[in-house]
Amino acid sequence: MIPSIKHIGLTFTFLCSSLLAEAKVWTVSQQAGKGTSIQQAIDKAEAGDTITIKEGVYRESTIQVNKKLLIRGEKGAVLDGQGQHEIITITADGVVVQGLTLQNTGMSYMEDRAAINISKSRLCTIKDNVIKNTFFGIYLEESHNNRILNNKIYGEAEMEANSGNAIHLWYSDTATIVGNQAFNHRDGIYLEFVNNSRIENNISRGNVRYGLHFMFSDHNQYIRNTFEENGAGVAVMFSREIIMEHNKFLHNWGTASYGLLLKEIYDSKIENNTFDQNTVGIYAESITRCHVFSNTFSRNGWALRMSGSSMDNVFKKNNFMSNTFDISTNARENHNVYSQNYWSEYSGYDLDRDGKGDVPYRPVKLFSYVVSEVDASALLLRSFFIDVLNYAEKIVPSLTPATLLDDQPLMKPVL
Amino acid sequence: MIKIFKYSFYDLLKSRWSVISLLFYLAATFGLLYLNMDLSKSIISLMNIVLFLAPLTAIMFGVIYFYNSRDFMELLLAQPLKRSSVLWGLYLGLATSLSLSFLIGMGVPFLSYGILVSGEIWNFMLLIFIGVLLTFIFSAIAFLIALRNENKTKGFGLSLLLWLFTALMYDGIFLLILIVFQDYPLEKLSLALTLLNPIDLLRISMMLKLDVSALFGFSGAVFNKFLGQSTGILLSIGCALLWVVAPLGFLFRSLAKKDF
């Protein structure tokens, strides 16, 4: 204990690290029961030091981190914004924030208030934090090469207009976002102008708008994420060379919902994803040269809704099981390839036993074409008349695109 | 009236038709449950069967039964009995016996698959309610047709046509209207058109309950809002009941005028 610091009412422990000659560990605790002291510890510390925050609820004004520090929370260390302000603002490279609980930033229409804001900084790591009831969770602007790992971000969003995003990146390239959980915000993960990033093993659930929302973000990878029960699902727009693999899109169910919305996407790969119980599995508008392989679409309202402006896409080895409509399109012509998919409604036969049906399958029913033209006609779903109509069209296709067919429908699901 | 009801009820229960329809429902329900193993999906598939078959059996069997029991009716009417109580007895006997075979045919398989402990119990109840309501509606219509037409061929033809119209052609016209007038706001019109056909009305209320409504898009939202309000619920129940009451009203009016 150093008396000169103790008399301010704050307890600082000052230790020399045996590992690094220069690095010091500063401990902040609340044992004296008075105001917080994290900012002062930061001001005293040198770049490369560690600040350990002991158990307690710290109510300080926004903490400015302007040098390379490791800020580490011990169990029960809580930083509270008291509903008034941002909690941590990082403006230095290489900062690590770890193990903290951050809560209550309050909502603002004037600024994008976040639990942790990284501004124009590189190589920071935000790890193992719990963020509760904040406007924005983790907010990056013009900050490249940062890592966001294993954070749990819980929001209480009810309306789109007055809620923020759990993880928000803007002009921040080469980000690594792994193992986070984003619940009940506006968007779970939001990326705009973010290139070459990896988004893996995250769970995004119960968000008011999108589970994942990204625009103008090229060359990104989305792997093994789960998007569940979000207001409108996942929206991917105006991007090229995206890899989406092994993701789960579950139960995004509502009048204006979809599992995955694709708009203006080029040269991307969508493989091994699961789409279960979404109003629309994939809603594709103007997507070009995309490979949609080995996905499973089950129990969706529409497995695929393709707009006529989508071209040169390949749909292969996908499973379409128990969807109300397999494919719906508003186009009379088909410019995409559908081949070797499994369709649970396929009723053809396989005489030569090569596992591929001998009769082509037409996934677009007349009724799904009618519904895509006249929305209101969906009211006649499961009417006996519609079954008759579909059957007639199946035998003699007149309205549905004649070339939209799977010439080698699989007899058994792809595993 | 009670006596006549009892008589016709037991008479019908013993008849081949009831047994056949009972066996059919049993087979269809057991079959679907066996293939699906999923109660909620079976309910959706059964809804199609119920909407299709319940009106058909009620209307055809109703007409047949009325023509067959004409002699019996005339015999009864020779006694000091009110015309209306004779007809009530026969009508209720028919409708309840048909409903009973429907109820047992659907109920036993679902009970054996544990509907009582599943979350689908209310959807199942709604399905049963729809089936029973359709039986009552179309039995009344059958009696009305049979009473108005002495000519059996004409009676059968009319009832078949009416079933075809409500089950099939009506939706075709509905769809045509929606397509032709697609540039106009059609939500109110489609609501009205739905209320006007009992099969459509019951189909859509069932679908909204089953949460397929998300597929309905904008008009689904309008329907949900309408049917979610108390006035909407009252109106749709009122309309469904009106479909029982109106044919019965016509039936008893023509009965009073009828010269046997």
ipTM of the prediction? 0.80
pLDDT at B132 over 80: yes
pLDDT at position A257: 86
Identify the CA nearest to A84 among candidates A113, A109, A119, A63.
Answer: A113
Residues of B in contact with A392 (CB under 8 A): none
What is the average pLDDT value for chain A, to the nearest integer? Answer: 88
Q: pLDDT confidence of B217, banded at 50, 70, 90?
A: low
The verdict on a CB contact (< 8 Å) between B216 and A255 is: yes
Contact between A216 and A241 under an 8 Å Cβ cutoff? The reply is no
Angstroms from B15 CA to nearest CA on chain A: 29
Q: What is the DSSP letter of A187?
A: -
Residues of B in contact with A382 (CB under 8 A): 44, 47-48, 203, 207, 212
The verdict on a CB contact (< 8 Å) between A324 and B204 is: no
Q: Is A413 a member of any domain?
A: no
How many Cα atoms sit within 13 Å of A347 on the Cβ side? 4
pLDDT at position B213: 61
What would the pLDDT profile of A7-55 be if each residue is shown by its tens digit? 444 444 444 334 444 678 888 888 765 445 789 889 988 999 999 998 8
Find the DSSP H helices in B69-186.
Answer: 70-77, 83-112, 121-148, 152-164, 170-180
What would the pLDDT profile of A221-247 be if each residue is shown by its tens digit? 999 999 999 988 899 999 999 999 999
Q: How far is it, in rounded angstroms, from Cα A240 to Cα B122?
A: 48
pLDDT at position B228: 66
Contact between B201 and B239 under an 8 Å Cβ cutoff? The reply is yes
Identify the CA nearest to A29 among candidates A87, A86, A72, A84.
Answer: A72
Q: What is the DSSP letter of B216?
A: G
> Which residues does residue A177 pair with via DSSP β-bridges, in sequence order?
A148, A199
- What DSSP element (H or E) covers A284? strand A280-285
Q: What is the pLDDT averaged over residues B60-80?
A: 89
pLDDT at position B58: 93
pLDDT at position A174: 95
Q: How many CB atoms lie within 10 A of CB A58?
A: 23
Quote the domain boundaries for residue A235.
3-395
Q: How far is it, in rounded angstroms, from Cα A75 to Cα A335?
A: 57
Contact between A336 and A311 under an 8 Å Cβ cutoff? The reply is yes
Q: Is A157 a member of any domain?
A: yes
Q: How far is it, in rounded angstroms, from Cα A40 to Cα A42?
A: 5
Q: Is A285 a member of any domain?
A: yes
Angle formed by the axes of helices B2-13 and B83-112, nearest 10°: 40
Residues of B in contact with A367 (CB under 8 A): none
Q: Is A295 a member of any domain?
A: yes
Q: Is A401 a member of any domain?
A: no
pLDDT at position A18: 41
Q: Is A63 on the interface with B (CB under 8 A)?
A: no
What residue type is assigned to position A366 of the chain?
A: L
Q: Is A94 on the interface with B (CB under 8 A)?
A: no
User: Which residue of A257, A378, A384 is in closest CB contact with B220?
Assistant: A378
Q: How is residue A30 written in tokens?
A: 């609340």
pLDDT at B239 over 70: yes
Q: How is residue A199 written in tokens?
A: 């988004």
pLDDT at A307 over 50: yes
pLDDT at position A7: 41
Q: How is residue B141 written in tokens?
A: 């219509």
User: Which residue of B178, B182, B203 is in closest CB contact with A383?
Assistant: B203
- What DSSP element (H or E) covers A213? strand A210-215
Residue A90's domain is classified under what CATH number? Answer: 2.160.20.10
Q: How far is it, in rounded angstroms, from Cα B194 to Cα A323?
A: 25
Q: How far is it, in rounded angstroms, from Cα A182 to Cα A59?
A: 24
What would the pLDDT profile of B90-126 be if each residue is shown by its tens digit? 899 999 999 999 999 988 988 888 777 777 788 888 8
Q: What is the pLDDT averaged over residues A202-228?
A: 93
Q: What is the pLDDT averaged over residues A354-377?
A: 86
Give the length of chain B: 260
Angstroms from A380 CA to nearest CA on chain B: 7
pLDDT at position A227: 95
C-alpha torsion B227→B233→B239→B243, nearest 10: 110
Sign of CA dihedral A363, A366, A370, A376: negative
Q: What is the pLDDT averaged over residues A178-202?
A: 94
Top-confidence residue, B81 or A168? A168
Identify the CA nearest to A182 among candidates A204, A214, A160.
Answer: A204
pLDDT at position B240: 84
% of residues, chain B, pLDDT over 90: 32
Contact between A175 and A140 under an 8 Å Cβ cutoff? The reply is yes
Q: How far is it, in rounded angstroms, from Cα B185 to Cα B247?
A: 32
Residue ranges covered by each domain of chain B = 2-257
User: Which residue of A279, A375, A385 is in closest CB contact with B172?
Assistant: A385
What residue type is assigned to position A411 of the chain?
A: M
Identify the CA nearest to A163 among candidates A108, A99, A98.
Answer: A108
User: Which residue of B48, B179, B223 is in closest CB contact with A382?
Assistant: B48
pLDDT at position A408: 93
Mutating which of A299, A383, A384, A399 best tests the B interface, going by the most B Cβ atoms within 10 A? A383
Contact between A119 and A93 under an 8 Å Cβ cutoff? The reply is no
What would the pLDDT profile of A65-96 be if each residue is shown by its tens digit? 999 999 999 999 999 998 888 999 999 999 99
pLDDT at position B160: 94
Contact between A300 and A259 under an 8 Å Cβ cutoff? The reply is yes
The verdict on a CB contact (< 8 Å) between B214 and A257 is: yes
Q: pLDDT confidence of A202, banded at 50, 70, 90?
A: very high
Q: How far is it, in rounded angstroms, from Cα A201 to Cα A185?
A: 18
For A98-109, letters b (16+ CB in 10 Å) and e give: bbbbbbbbeeee
Beta carbon pairs, A and B, within 8 Å:
87
Identify the CA nearest to A330 among candidates A313, A311, A307.
Answer: A307
Q: How far is it, in rounded angstroms, from Cα B162 to Cα A54?
A: 80
**In the block, which residue shows the tokens 């994420």?**
A225
Q: pLDDT confidence of A109, banded at 50, 70, 90?
A: confident
- The number of folded domains in chain A is 1
Q: What is the pLDDT averaged over residues A342-367?
A: 90
> Which of A11-15, A97-101, A393-397 is predicted least confidently?
A11-15
Q: What is the DSSP letter of B215?
A: G
pLDDT at A153 over 50: yes
pLDDT at position A122: 94
pLDDT at B27 over 70: yes
Q: How far is it, in rounded angstroms, from Cα B37 to Cα A338?
A: 31
Q: Is A253 on the interface with B (CB under 8 A)?
A: yes
